Structure 1
Amino acid sequence: MIKIIAVLCSLSTPGNCHEQIVTTSDLAEISMRSCMMGAPQLAEWMNQHPAERLAGWRCVMGQQGGRGT
């Protein structure tokens, strides 16, 4: 499984950025190549979150984090 970790910044406070796992049903079967090229699904996800700006993203194979999440 490939996950997209997006770096998102608030439009109202540009210095306020955080990382978030982008999850939608469309991203369930994304390939690493598609992820690295900026999956079209990522743009769709951003359209649903207009208060944030996408500052970057990375692709991660397998589980994210070591706390059972």
Structure 2
Amino acid sequence: MISVIAIICKLAAPADCHGELVTTSDMASVSLQSCLMGAPQLAEWMQARPGYRLQGWRCVVGGRGREA
């Protein structure tokens, strides 16, 4: 299993960033290669977070990993 951790920052406070586990049914079968290439589903996931911007993401193999 590949987990995708998105690093998002508030638009109103650009230094206020945190990691968030990306979990959608569309991403249940994300491959490591797809994740490393940008997991296209991140764009859709970010649409639900209009007050944030995507700073980056990381791929964690084998579970949730550490957020932040």
One-letter amino acid of the structure 2 residue matched with residue 23 of structure 1: T
Q: 1:18: how far off?
A: 0.4
| TM-score scaled by length of structure 2 | 0.90
Question: How far apart, CA to CA, are the structure 1 residues paired with 2:27 and 2:46?
Answer: 13
One-letter amino acid of the structure 1 residue matched with residue 51 of structure 2: A
Aligned residues: 66
Q: Who wins on radius of gyration, i.e. which is larger?
A: 1
| TM-score scaled by length of structure 1 | 0.89
Question: Cα RMSD between the aligned structures?
Answer: 1.3
Query: Taking structure 1 as reference, are residues 65 and 3 closer, same or farther at Cα in structure 2, changes over 3 Å only?
Result: closer
Contiguous gaps of at least 5 residues in structure 1: none
Detail structure 1 runs of 4+ shifted over 3 Å in the superposition. none
Contiguous gaps of at least 5 residues in structure 2: none
Matched-pair identity in %: 58
